[in-house]
Structures are given as structure tokens and as C-alpha cells.
Structure 1
Amino acid sequence: MTHDQMTIIAILVAAMGMFIWGRWRHDMVAGGALLACVFAGIVPGAEAFEGFGHPAVITVVCVLVLSHGLQITGAVDELSRRVLPSSSGQTVSIAALTGLAAVLSAFMNNVGAMALLMPVAVKLAARQGLTPGKVLMPLAFGSILGGTMTLIGTPPNLIVSGFRNESGLGGFGMFDFSPVGASVTLAGLVFISLIGWRLVPAREQSDTGDFDTAAYTTEVRITEDSKAVGKSLREVERMLDETDALVVGLVRGGFRLSAPYPGRILRDGDILVIQSEPKSLSSILSGLGLKLEENVPPEPEVAEAKDEEEATQSDTKGDEAEKAVGEGESRVSGNTSAEREPEEGGKEKNGNGKDNGEKAKHSEILIQEMVAMPGGMIIGRSARDMELRTRFGINLLAISRQGHRSIRRLRSTPIQGGDVLLMQGAPEVLSSFASEFGCVPLAARDVHVPGKGQAVRATLVMAAAIAAAALGLAPVAIAFAAGVLALMAMRIVSLRSVYQAVDWPVIVLLGAMLPVAGAMASTGAADLIARFLLENVAKGQAVFGLAVILAATMLMTDFMNNAATAAVMCPIALSTAAQLNVNADSFLMAVAIGSSCAFLTPIGHQNNTLILGPGGFRFGDYWRMGLPTDILVIAVGLPMLLLVWPL
């Protein structure tokens, strides 16, 4: 073993360990592996970032944007309404939902398909009297299986095609994956629909109404001798940190604010709406000199409203003074929170305290569950980091993580992928926040289709790009880039949303890992690993070698990103085929199938992570349906590989 071989193997082992550990995001790990290869002299510095211009990376970007176009035009929602049965039994309903997810995932990003169908799945579970997990896990598995059917179904397929092209064999066609992928998908869907969903643990996940946001919710009045008088709401919240209490509202003069401005100065007579545990309530009352409010004051008269308006203007000036000394809040869309601070009586005032004429309806403040998508902007950030209340006027009421609900240290708790968040705010604000930060609403959505014309045009553009690539009229990357340009030209996808639609951590992962994988082949490390597998596991038998590659890839992808798994395994697959002197296509296809089929853990695929919180699942729940699905994939996939891509 040469020095370069030992170095690249050590780097890969360290990278895989960090992928599995999950302490750092996968794009950061991939970037570190790439730089380590450059510093070690294995990858030339001039070639370090060539992976970002790889056709596979460009195609993934374009597919994400085209998928986004199908989502925002309502094309997928319209299809789901037409395809899914409105009234049928459990088996038929689950079969229809997972089948739709598989078909969508073959032609669009499977995470996007999963996000669109999750609210449908939750509603279906309620209608059928099932726990959400009984429907969510089949949906996730169906969407994962569907990605194996086409070149653009999942990033690993594009990576495999890229390695085949670089080996001098040319890239795979759009539907070269279909014979094996469709067979595996069909077998998987039949199993999931008839047997698999019954193996899913019946974990209870409460809906919004039963979400355990706090053990006790009460209203407390600020008295004349209270320590809170003259202090800002922000200061009081800091004092309440020790008791794990949360201020979720303020009542002043009979008007209630659901997300009061943190800089607002509190005064005698104000009522704070607090959520806390019963054991903490007494310390809150004594510590701040508060009193329980038994009766909320009735609606104020006109004179009281006038007094309230004058007092509010005074508070606004105080808030502005506070901002002047460096305690101001960040801006959103060019407006500071003081410039659009919600005021009592449902009015908003600008920075000068003038009424802007817009009235907010209290009935429009709602509580909604959202699940944090892996890779979204919200991941790793807390409510305090995002300044939810100040910037958005949103309260974070509770977090559910793997079925465990708590309000302890909510504002400073970093959010993880799959967390279920209970949010309170105006509908349009919640919707905007979910879109920007990567959250999926779990409540049933009444989707507004922008217009059948846009939905049809987006669908035709996607179909044209697929046809151009399938018929060889243009390279895949070019065909889909032209599709993106068409969506932009027709104003179906705005310039800003083009960049928001791209999952940049995945793109960085792909661009960084491709040169690292190439170094495996150039240093001979791939040949070394392949020889070890052949001599010690497959015993020189080609069929056994194919089975080993398939099984090893499936095992790896359960613990690390599927794109990274494909990039690592492709050089090994090519070297194994070369040493056995057999058809390399069968081994590359085995990598494509194996790297997509992550069913044993919640971390192997984003869709598995996405259902972790909403389904109330634990880490060990996935193998119950996942292990039989893995066995079925090998049992069906291996003979089909040998039949379609003979050795």
C-alpha cells in the first residue's frame, strides 16, 4: 500500500465517520475531505473545484428548480386530488398515496414530492383512523423507491452516470435505470401496501389541539410594586429564563397582543400571558411581584381606547430610544420591527407612531404544526437566533423531537431536522416563514392553484426537457438547463426563487466529493479495496461480487448521505468489474440501486428524517419495515441486474 493510498483511505474513513456522527453538516464534511486531499497533494489545487462544473451537479440544480416550478404552480396538488381516492379502505388508500409518491419522485426531487404529500398523508391517517406514522413511513419509502426509476430521479443516479461517462463508456440514458428500478419499486410498493405498513410501530403523535405545549397556561397582572414595572418585555423574559417560563401574550387595556414587541416597556396593570410548569408558577409570582389574574377585563370603551393609544405612542418612543442605544432588532424586507410593530386594537403603526390604516383580525391568529426539513435554513438555529417574535411576530410554543414534547429552554434550543414545531401567528406570516426557512406545514392545506395555464406550462416544460434528454436531442444537463431558462422566461419561477429552490448543501457535497472519489481511482485505492472484497468476501465469484457491492452500498447509505455513498462506491464498483473482467454496467447499476435504498435509519435519507417528528418515531423504529424492504430489494434487484445488465 502506497503513501497516497493510505492517505486517501484515511481521509475517506474519517469523512464517513463524520457523516455517520452527524455533528457537522454533510457539505462541511465533504469540503473538509476535499481540502485534506488538496493539502496532501492527492488532488491538484487547480482541479479541486472542477466537480462543481460536473454535468451531474448542474443537472441536480436544474432538476431542483424544475421541481420547484411544478410545486408552486399547483400541478402536483391538482394531480394528487385527481389520483388519490376520496373514500376507500386503508390498504387501497396507502397504495394510492405511495404509488403517487413513487411516480412523482421518478421525475422530480423526491424530497419535494415528500413535502407536498405529507399534509395529505396526515389527513389520510386521520380519516382512516391510523396513527400518522402508519402512513408517513410508507410514503417516505415509496418516494425513495421511485427515485430509482430514472436518471433524474435521485442524485446518485446522476453520479453513477457521470462515472460511467468518465470511464469511456458514455453516460446512462434517461430510462436506462427503469427496468431494474421499476421492478424494485413495484415489488416494494406491493409489499408496503399489503404488509409493510402494518409493521410500522403505532406511535401516537398528537395533533395541534393536544400538543403538550405547556403544563400550565395562566394570566398574571403586573401590580404597582412589581419588579416588572418600567422594564422592557425583553428584560422580563430574561428574568423568567431561570424558571423556563414563556411569555406568549400581553393584555393592555383589554387589547391582547399575541406576539408583543420585546422592547415594549411594561407598566402597572399590564397582564402577561405565561406558559410554565406548575412548580415554577409560585417562583414567578414571588420573584417578580406578580398576581394571578382571575378575570380578564371586558372590552374597553372608546375613552379607554384613546388613553391606550396615547400610552402606546409613549411606549413606541421609548422603544425607539432603546433602539438608539444599540439594542435594536434586525430587519425584514427593509422594515424594522419598530416600523411595523403590532399595536393594540388590531392597528399597526410606523416608526412615527402613525396609524397605517391596516387592521389585524384576532381571529386570524392561529396555531399550526410545522416540521423542520433537513437542510432547511432553520436547522441549527434557535427561536432566539432567528428573532421569531421581533422579526416575524411568531411565537414558538413547543418543540416535539422524536415524539418527546417539551417547553424547556424553547427560545435557545437549536432546531434539528424532523422536529415538529408548534407555531403561533398570522396565517400569511406562518406560510411565508415556512417557505423561507424550510418547514412543511402538517395541517391540511387548502392550496390555491395560481392558474391552470401555469401548471400546464410548467408540466410541458418538464416533459419537454425529459423528452429531449431521453431522445438524445441534447445532453441531460443542457436539456434541463434550457427547461429552467424557459420557466424563468415565462415568469413561472421568479429569479429570486430559482436560487431558493436549490438545496445548496447537497450541491456543495456533490461538487466536493467528486474530486475525492476521483482520487480513489487515480491513487489505486479503489483497486485495493475491490481486490480485498473479491478475495475475502466474494471469493472471486462475479455474482457474489455483485451482491457484495449491492449490499455494502445499501448498508453505507443507511448511515451517510446517498450522494456521498454513490461517489465513494462507484470507483470501487468499476475496479471490481475490471478485476473480474465483467460488464461494469451491472456493478454501477448495483451502486445506483443500493445508494438510493436507505430504509433502516432516520438519517440515511432526508425523507426518513422528515417523518421522524411527525410520526413520533424513534431511531430503532425504521428497521421493522425497512429490513424486509431491504431484503426484498436485494431479492428482486440482483436477478434483474443479471437479466438486464448481464455479466
Structure 2
Amino acid sequence: MTFAQASLLAILAATIILFIWGRWRHDVVAVAALLAAVAAGLVEPDAAFNGLGHPAVVTVACILILSAALQASGAVDWLSSVAVPRKAGPTLTIAALSGLAALLSAFMNNVGALALLMPVAIPVAARLGLAPGRVLMPLAFGSILGGMTTLIGTPPNLIVSGFRAQAGGADSFAMFDFAPVGVAVALSGLALMALGWRLVPERKVSGAEGFAAGAYLTEARVPEGAKAAGMSLRAIEEALKASEAQVLGLLRDERRIAAPHLSREVQAGDILVIEAEPEALTAALADLGLKLEEDVRAGDDASNENPPEPDSPAAALQSPDVVLAEYVVRPRAEIAGLSARGIRLRHHFGVNLLAISRRGVRSTARLNTMALREGDMLLLQGSPETMAEFAQRFGLVPLAQRSLRLPDARRAALVGGVMLASIAGAAFGLVPAAIAFAAGVLAVVALGQVPVRRLYDAVDWPVIVLLAALLPVAEAMATTGAADLVANALLAPVAPYGPVAALALVLVVTMTLSDFMNNAGTAAVMCPVAIGTASQLGVATDPFLMAVAIGASCAFLTPIGHQNNTLILGPGGFRFSDYWRLGLPLELLVVAVAMPALLLFWPL
């Protein structure tokens, strides 16, 4: 092993460990890996940022913009109303929803497809008498399966295609080269989920006007003359028993009293930290005469000497149109890591944060200072318009049924036509995929379907940076021989069993990595290994690259393997260990279907 190989493998190992640890965001880890490779002399400084111009990176960015335009047109709302049966039972309904998610994900961003269908799926679950998670997990998995069927369906496919072009001078994979194996795997997976949705743990959830994942943590003030004033905490807990709520803490004069004794007397002006379901929360507040802390603050703002300006966002909270709604923080949302106080939520946006639900975690921080996390569920108060605008800006997904929005037929036709033209241009080889979809973005802007000022809002920049940073590192794996070294290590235990066993091993290793780290990062790491393995065996590289594409798209065992798994964690009420119950049979099925399909359509 040379120094260059040892250095690169050490950087790669550290990168994978940091990905799995999850303390730092994936794009930050990827940039750190790139800079470490440059410092070690493994990547030339002049070539360090060549990944930003890589066709796969450009194509991913353009697809995200076109997907956002397609969503805004209302075409997906119409499609979901047509495709989801209104009177069918659970099996047919789940099959239709997950099938629609797979179809959408083949041509648009996976997370976008799931976010569009979640507000449809949750009321459907209520109508069927099912726990929301039993509909949401097949929906999320279906959107992941659909992405593997086309070149543009998911970033790993674009990465694999790029490596094919670099490996042996062959052309990149075409638009539907992934379809023969991908469709076979996706259809079998959809069938399993339609029949096996009962494998999903039934987590009982409830919510007023919504669909909360467990109890919310909120703050309630004891006003003068309230029934709770003068009561002991023991007496208050007894009063809350009927509502299945409990007091977790007490704040007095802005000071938290940790683990207050049950005999402590509650005074007017105290703030109680209460954990309760939304419906129970309403009853608890009414019985004890408590007021939500955010409502008290809003009232103070309105009555003080400097009330909000009449046209200010904060003044909108005095409007009779104010409602409550529940949202979930989507992966990589702009609001993740921020607090309500930090962004001055009420004053700048006219929205109150009334409660937070965080599965399995009880924070000791004040509600308005809690740093929000991916998967958190938020109970917000404000006008429908201000909350919708706030949710769109900061990356929140509504959990209640969306307001009726009639699709704009002309707009949907324009954006749909541009999308189809871009797909056709790439599919028939008229122009490279990056050019086809860049032209599509230019067309929707020229047609006025995407405002120029919002052009880049839809781009998932952490994914773009991740891809751009890891591609030079992955290229260094090939040039230093590190990929061949890893390939030899993988081949050692399966060498006696031939290339078929090696192909299965590459598929399984890629799937395992993808369960714990970003799928694009997994593909970038495993492509050089797959090419090296095929080279060592003297067989075609295409089946091994296809195995990487399939494996990188099959993260079903954990909530951190794919953004869609994280997105349903809160609304489904799931625990970390819930995913494998449906995910493990699904991954075993993927291997069972993908292996013969790979050998049939991509012979060794």
C-alpha cells in the first residue's frame, strides 16, 4: 500500500464515520474530505472545484428547479385527485398512493414528491381508520423506489452515469437505461408494500385538526385569578390526569425550577411546561384557566405603548382569520438549527410557535429558544397566508389537508410540456442531459413560470455541494489505485464463488452504506470500488455500476438513510427501530429481484 493510497483510505474512512455520526451536515463533511485530499496532495488544487461543473451536478440542480415549477403549477394536485381512489380499502389505496409517489419520483425530486403527497396521505389514513405511519412509510419507500427507474430520478443514477463515461470511454447511461432493472425492483417493492403494510408498527397518534406524532411540549402561563393559582403541582397533575397531560417543569421569574417538588405551590405569573396531545392540551388549559405563553405575549404586544404597526406581520395575529396548523420540519430545512426567538418569529413573520413535538426527546430549553431539528412537529398559529409563506420559505411541510387549489391548466401544460421536451432531448440523445435540463430551466423562466428572484430557491444546495466536493475525491480513488485496493479486499472472501457473488456483495455493501449515509455520497464512494472489482475479475463494469445505482437508492432500514425516511419520522410517530420491520423484507426482496434482473439485462 502506497502513502497516497493509505492517506486516501484514511480520509475516506473518516468521512464515512462522520457521515454516520451525523454531528455535522453531509456537505460540510464532504468539503472537509475534499480539502484534506488537497492538503495531502491527492487532488490538485486547480482541480479541487471542478466538481461544480460536473454534468451530474448541473443536471441535479436543473431537475430541482423544474420539479419546483411542476409542483407550483398544480398539476400534481390534479394527478393525485385522479389517481387516489376515494372509496377503496387500505390495500388498494396504499398501492395507489405509493405507486403515484414512485411515478412522480421517476421524473422529479423524491423529497418534493413525498412532500406533495403527505397532506393527501394523512387524511386518507384517518378515513381508513389507520395510524398515519401505516400509509406514510409505504408512501416514502415508494418515492425512493421510483427514483431508481430513470437517469434523472435520483442523484446516485447521475453519478453512476458519470463514472461510466469516465471509466472506459463509454457513453453515459441513457435516460431509461436504468428502467429494466429499476422498474422490476420498484414494481416488486410496491407489491410487497401494498400487501405488507401491516408490518409497519401501529403507532397511535392523535391531533386536533391535524395529525400529531405524540405529545407536544408547550408553555402555559398562570394568569391572575386562574384556578391553578395557589394549587400545588400535585393537585394540578391530578387535574391533568383526565386529559393525559403532565407537567414537566416550572418557570418563575424567567428562572427554570428543575424537577420541582409536587408540594410546591403554583403562583400567578408562573409558566408551566406541559406535555400533552393537542386535543388534551385544549381541555387542560380550559380546566385550569391557563393561557398559552405565546398568546399572552401577543396580547402584551397589542396592549403596550408601542403596539405593532397595523400593516406589520405581528399585527396580523390580531386578525379574526388566525388559525392553528401543524407542520413538520423537512430534512435540510432552512429553519433547522434556528429558534423562534432567533428569527423573531412573531414580529417578522406574524406566526406564533405554540408547541413542539420531538419524538423521544424532552428538552430543558425554553420553547422559543429551542433549536429546531429535522423531523420536529410544530403547532403554529397565524393566518393561513402568512403560515403558508413562512412554511415555504423555511422548509416546513403541512400535515393538515391543503386548501383547495384548482390547478392552472395553462401553467401545468406549459411546465409539463417543457419537462417532457427536456426528458425527450436527453432520452433520444439529441443533447446531453445537463444541456437538455438547463434549456428546460431557461424555458420555464422565459415563459414566466418561475420568477427569476426565486429561481434558485428550489435548489438543494447541501446536495449540490456534497456532489461537487466528493467527485474529485472519488476520482482520486481511481488514480491512486485505492479503489483497486478496496476491490481486492472485497473480492478475497467471494473469489472462489465467481463474479456473480462479487456482484451481490457490491449490491449489499452499497445498500448497507446507504442505510447510514447520504445516498449520493454512497454512490460516489462505491463507483470506483465497483469499477475496480469488475476490472480485477475481467468482466463488464456496467452490471457493477448498476448494482451501485440500485443499492444506493435502497435505504429502508433507518430514518437517517434517506431524507424521505426522516421526513415521516415525526408525522408517523416512528421510533428509530421501526423502519426495519418493513424495510428489511423490502431490502431482501430488492436483492432477490435485482440480481437476476442485473444478470439478464446487463450480462457479466
- TM-score clears 0.5: yes
Q: In the alignment, what sits opposite 2:466?
A: 509
Q: Deviations over 1:238-289 (max 9, x none)?
A: 9435259xxxxxxxxxxxxxxxxxxxxxxxxxxxxxxx9998871554799x
TM superposition shift of 1:424: 1.2
Q: Label 1:364 to 1:37 Cα distance change in 2 as closer, same or farther (>3 A).
A: same
8 Å CA contact 2:252–2:269 kept in 1: the answer is no
Distance in 1 of aligned mates of 2:511 and 2:16: 14
Which among 416, 419, 426 is matched to residue 469 of structure 1?
A: 426
- Residue 374, structure 1, aligned to residue 375, structure 2: no
For normalisation by structure 1, the TM-score amounts to: 0.81
Q: In the alignment, what sits opposite 2:379?
A: 422
Structure number with greater Rg is 1
Secondary structure of 2:198 counterpart: helix
Q: In the alignment, what sits opposite 1:523?
A: 480
- Residue 123, structure 1, aligned to residue 89, structure 2: no
Q: In the alignment, what sits opposite 2:526?
A: 569
Q: Label 1:280 to 1:585 Cα distance change in 2 as closer, same or farther (>3 A).
A: farther
Distance in 1 of aligned mates of 2:288 and 2:24: 49
TM superposition shift of 1:446: 1.9
Distance in 1 of aligned mates of 2:332 and 2:573: 20
1:260-279 to 2 correspondences below 5 Å? none
**Aligned residue identity for 2:79:** L
TM superposition shift of 1:418: 1.1
Distance in 1 of aligned mates of 2:270 and 2:464: 54
Q: In the alignment, what sits opposite 1:22?
A: 22
**Aligned residue identity for 1:14:** A
Q: Deviations over 1:476-514 (max 9, x none)?
A: 000000000010011111112221000000000000000
Q: Label 1:628 to 1:390 Cα distance change in 2 as closer, same or farther (>3 A).
A: same
8 Å CA contact 1:220–1:293 kept in 2: the answer is no
Secondary structure of 1:220 counterpart: coil
TM superposition shift of 1:205: 2.2
- Residue 456, structure 1, aligned to residue 459, structure 2: no
Q: In the alignment, what sits opposite 2:190?
A: 189
**Aligned residue identity for 2:185:** V
Distance in 2 of aligned mates of 1:105 and 1:507: 18
**Aligned residue identity for 1:46:** D
Q: Deviations over 1:67-119 (max 9, x none)?
A: 00110111111110111111110100000000000000001011100000001
Q: Label 1:420 to 1:342 Cα distance change in 2 as closer, same or farther (>3 A).
A: closer
Q: Label 1:220 to 1:500 Cα distance change in 2 as closer, same or farther (>3 A).
A: same
Question: Larger deviation: 185-194 or 377-386?
Answer: 377-386
Q: In the alignment, what sits opposite 2:53?
A: 53
TM superposition shift of 1:595: 0.2
Question: Larger deviation: 540-549 or 626-635?
Answer: 540-549
Q: 5+ unaligned residues in a row in structure 2: which ranges?
A: 227-250, 273-285, 291-300
TM superposition shift of 1:385: 1.7
Q: 5+ unaligned residues in a row in structure 1: which ranges?
A: 224-236, 245-275, 297-310, 320-336, 349-358
Q: Label 1:86 to 1:340 Cα distance change in 2 as closer, same or farther (>3 A).
A: same
**Aligned residue identity for 1:458:** V
**Aligned residue identity for 2:136:** L
Q: Deviations over 1:114-143 (max 9, x none)?
A: 000001110110000000000000000000
Question: Larger deviation: 414-423 or 177-186?
Answer: 414-423
8 Å CA contact 1:562–1:595 kept in 2: the answer is yes
Q: In the alignment, what sits opposite 2:92?
A: 92
Q: Label 1:410 to 1:75 Cα distance change in 2 as closer, same or farther (>3 A).
A: same
Secondary structure of 2:71 counterpart: helix
Distance in 1 of aligned mates of 2:114 and 2:57: 22
**Aligned residue identity for 2:53:** G
Q: In the alignment, what sits opposite 1:242?
A: 256
Q: Deviations over 1:217-247 (max 9, x none)?
A: 4661499xxxxxxxxxxxxx99435259xxx
Q: Label 1:222 to 1:576 Cα distance change in 2 as closer, same or farther (>3 A).
A: same
**Aligned residue identity for 1:6:** A
Q: In the alignment, what sits opposite 1:551?
A: 508
Q: In the alignment, what sits opposite 1:412?
A: 369
Distance in 2 of aligned mates of 1:277 and 1:442: 37
**Aligned residue identity for 1:127:** R
Q: Deviations over 1:517-542 (max 9, x none)?
A: 01111110000000111112443610
**Aligned residue identity for 1:240:** E
Q: Label 1:576 to 1:193 Cα distance change in 2 as closer, same or farther (>3 A).
A: same
- Residue 580, structure 1, aligned to residue 570, structure 2: no
TM superposition shift of 1:425: 1.3
Distance in 2 of aligned mates of 1:314 and 1:633: 63
Q: Label 1:540 to 1:10 Cα distance change in 2 as closer, same or farther (>3 A).
A: farther
Q: In the alignment, what sits opposite 1:254?
A: none
Distance in 2 of aligned mates of 1:38 and 1:541: 37
**Cα RMSD over matched residues?**
2.9
Which among 288, 305, 309 is matched to residue 315 of structure 1?
A: 305
Distance in 2 of aligned mates of 1:9 and 1:214: 45
TM superposition shift of 1:449: 3.6
Q: Label 1:624 to 1:281 Cα distance change in 2 as closer, same or farther (>3 A).
A: farther
8 Å CA contact 1:566–1:592 kept in 2: the answer is yes
Secondary structure of 2:456 counterpart: helix
Q: Label 1:279 to 1:602 Cα distance change in 2 as closer, same or farther (>3 A).
A: farther
8 Å CA contact 2:329–2:376 kept in 1: the answer is yes
Distance in 1 of aligned mates of 2:363 and 2:540: 55
TM superposition shift of 1:314: 7.3
Distance in 2 of aligned mates of 1:463 and 1:147: 17
Q: Label 1:81 to 1:523 Cα distance change in 2 as closer, same or farther (>3 A).
A: same
Q: In the alignment, what sits opposite 1:234?
A: none
Aligned residues: 556
8 Å CA contact 1:379–1:416 kept in 2: the answer is yes
Distance in 1 of aligned mates of 2:567 and 2:311: 34
8 Å CA contact 1:398–1:405 kept in 2: the answer is no
Q: Label 1:312 to 1:581 Cα distance change in 2 as closer, same or farther (>3 A).
A: closer
Question: Larger deviation: 529-538 or 574-583?
Answer: 529-538
Q: In the alignment, what sits opposite 2:598?
A: 641
1:72-151 to 2 correspondences below 5 Å? 72-151=72-151
Q: Deviations over 1:381-419 (max 9, x none)?
A: 122222212211222122212266779522222211111
Report sequence identity in percent.
56
8 Å CA contact 1:399–1:406 kept in 2: the answer is no
Secondary structure of 1:417 counterpart: coil
Secondary structure of 1:151 counterpart: coil
Which among 433, 445, 453 is matched to residue 390 of structure 2?
A: 433
Q: Label 1:450 to 1:184 Cα distance change in 2 as closer, same or farther (>3 A).
A: closer
1:320-399 to 2 correspondences below 5 Å? 340-341=311-312, 348=315, 362-399=319-356
Secondary structure of 2:455 counterpart: helix
1:532-547 to 2 correspondences below 5 Å? 532-539=489-496, 541-547=498-504
